[in-house]
């Protein structure tokens, strides 16, 4: 008795991978919920992960960290500017000018 292979369209595959990524649920649970083989979904997730790594796209966590670091960098630059100006004023005051 031969078993027929089911074909899944690209939208279904992307949706299943997105479910795993965004919900944080285990691959096995998402596969059960969708009625597909766990190994199949694991392969789709691995392929997606490789594509994301090679494309250089940032994950949501990496984007959030980038935003946080940019804000921190801007604040530190501002503090540095203030310190430079206050040091210059201090030197002028010490020189009696």
DSSP state of 24: -
Residue 97 scores a pLDDT above 70: no
In a domain, 2, yes or no: no
Q: Are both 13 and 46 inside the same structural domain? A: yes
In a domain, 92, yes or no: yes
Distance CA 32, CA 35 (A): 5
Q: Are both 20 and 50 inside the same structural domain? A: yes
Highest mean pLDDT among 74-78, 86-90, 92-96: 74-78
- Other beta carbons within 10 angstroms of residue 4's beta carbon come to 5
Tokens describing residue 40 = 């199949």
Q: Are both 52 and 67 inside the same structural domain? A: no
Phi-psi category of residue 11: left, alpha or beta, with phi > 0 → left and psi -120 to 50 → alpha: alpha
Residue 91 scores a pLDDT above 80: yes
Share of the chain above pLDDT 90, in %: 61
Count how many Cα atoms sit within 13 Å of the Cα of residue 67 in the half-sphere of its side chain: 6
Q: Are both 92 and 71 inside the same structural domain? A: yes
Measured N-to-C along each axis, helices 38-55 and 10-23 cross at an angle, to the nearest 10 degrees, of: 80
Q: Which domain holds residue 36?
A: 7-57
Q: Are both 12 and 53 inside the same structural domain? A: yes
> Structural domain tally of the chain?
2
Residue 31 scores a pLDDT above 80: yes
Q: Are both 53 and 63 inside the same structural domain? A: no
pLDDT, tens digit, 9 for 90 and up, residues 46-59: 999 888 777 777 77
Residue 40: which residues within 8 A CB-CB, separation 6 or more?
A: 31
């Amino acid at each position: 008795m031969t078993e027929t292979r089911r074909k899944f369209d690209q939208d279904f595959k992307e949706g299943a991978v997105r479910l795993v990524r965004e919900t944080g649920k285990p691959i096995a649970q998402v596969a059960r919920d969708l009625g597909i083989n766990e190994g199949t979904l694991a392969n789709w997730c691995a392929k997606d992960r490789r594509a994301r790594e090679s494309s250089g796209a940032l994950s949501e966590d990496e984007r959030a960290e980038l935003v946080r670091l940019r804000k921190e960098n801007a604040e530190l630059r501002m503090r540095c500017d203030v310190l430079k100006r206050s040091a210059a004023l201090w030197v002028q005051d010490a020189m009696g000018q």
